[in-house]
Amino acid sequence: PWGLAFFSFCRMLVTEKSGTVALVDANGSNVVTRLAGPPGVNATGQGGLLDVALDPDFGNTRWVFFTFAESGVGGTAGTALARGKLNTAYSGWEQSPQVRWQQTPKLTPGTHYGSRIAFGADGTLYVAAGERGVEANSGVARTDITGVQNSGNTIGKVVRMDRNGGNVSVFS
């Protein structure tokens, strides 16, 4: 497990590296059911299904947000954000999780996806995206297209967006 999101009625969602989401009772002793996670979860290395957060207005929207390592072309991967809508019984998906945001560029190291989800007081969504091991592996701060100091990518950044995945701002 990587992330937990607690419901007010004594259950929680737990993300599992493989890409599934466990609905667990509050004391953690009973998995009520497992749900499919977002499409394209890359569960290799440090990748997999990562954080989970409930929409600030979850009681009305039933939206659940996930971050995960998303497979790309040619063995690359990057952090991504998906959103799904639970059914009214909270036992399955009314709308399966779909990708709302993707880290760019996708890279080949299988490490440092980072990834936490937080909401601002105004409901704005924040995602922390890892630096993907590029600088940690080399020990040198890079300024090229894959470096965290490059403002033209989302490697090693905090990204702010609306809950639909639009109006994206990137913070270094």
Contacts 24+ apart (CB under 8 A), 132-138: 132/78, 132/103, 132/107, 132/156, 133/107, 133/109, 134/107, 134/109, 136/111, 136/112, 137/109, 137/111
For residues 119 and 127, what is the distance between their CA atoms, to the nearest angstrom? 9
Q: Does 112 qualify as catalytic in the annotation?
A: yes
Q: Which of 83, 112, 132, 157 is flagged as catalytic? A: 112
**Are 4 and 54 in contact, with CB atoms under 8 Å apart?**
no
Tokens at residue 65, please?
A: 């947000």
Q: Which residues are catalytic?
A: 112
